Homo-oligomer: A and B are copies of this chain.
Amino acid sequence: MSREKTIAKLIGVFRQYGYEGTTLSRLSKATGLGRASLYHYFPRGKEEMAAAVLEYVNRWFETTVLASLRTSDNPSQRLRVMCQNINEFYSQGQETCLLNIMSFGEANDLFHASIQQALKTWIDQLAKVLVEAGIEPEVARHKAEDAVIQIQGVLVLVRAFDDIAPFERVLANLPEKLLDD
Contacts and interface: CB of A to CB of B under 8 A. Distances in A.
Given A119-B160, A153-B154, 20 more contacts: A16-B104, A18-B21, A20-B20, A20-B21, A21-B21, A21-B105, A21-B106, A100-B156, A103-B160, A108-B159, A119-B157, A119-B161, A142-B169, A148-B153, A149-B149, A149-B150, A149-B153, A149-B157, A150-B153, A152-B153
Taken together, the copies of this chain in the complex come to 2
A150 B166 CA distance: 12
B105 A160 contact: no
A99 interface: yes
The 9 closest A-B pairs by CB, nearest first: A153-B153, A20-B21, A149-B153, A21-B105, A17-B105, A152-B153, A152-B156, A103-B159, A20-B20
Contacts of A119: 157, 160-161
Interface residues of A, number: 40
Interface in A12-53: 16-21
A151 interface: yes
A52 to B, nearest CB: 20
A131 interface: no
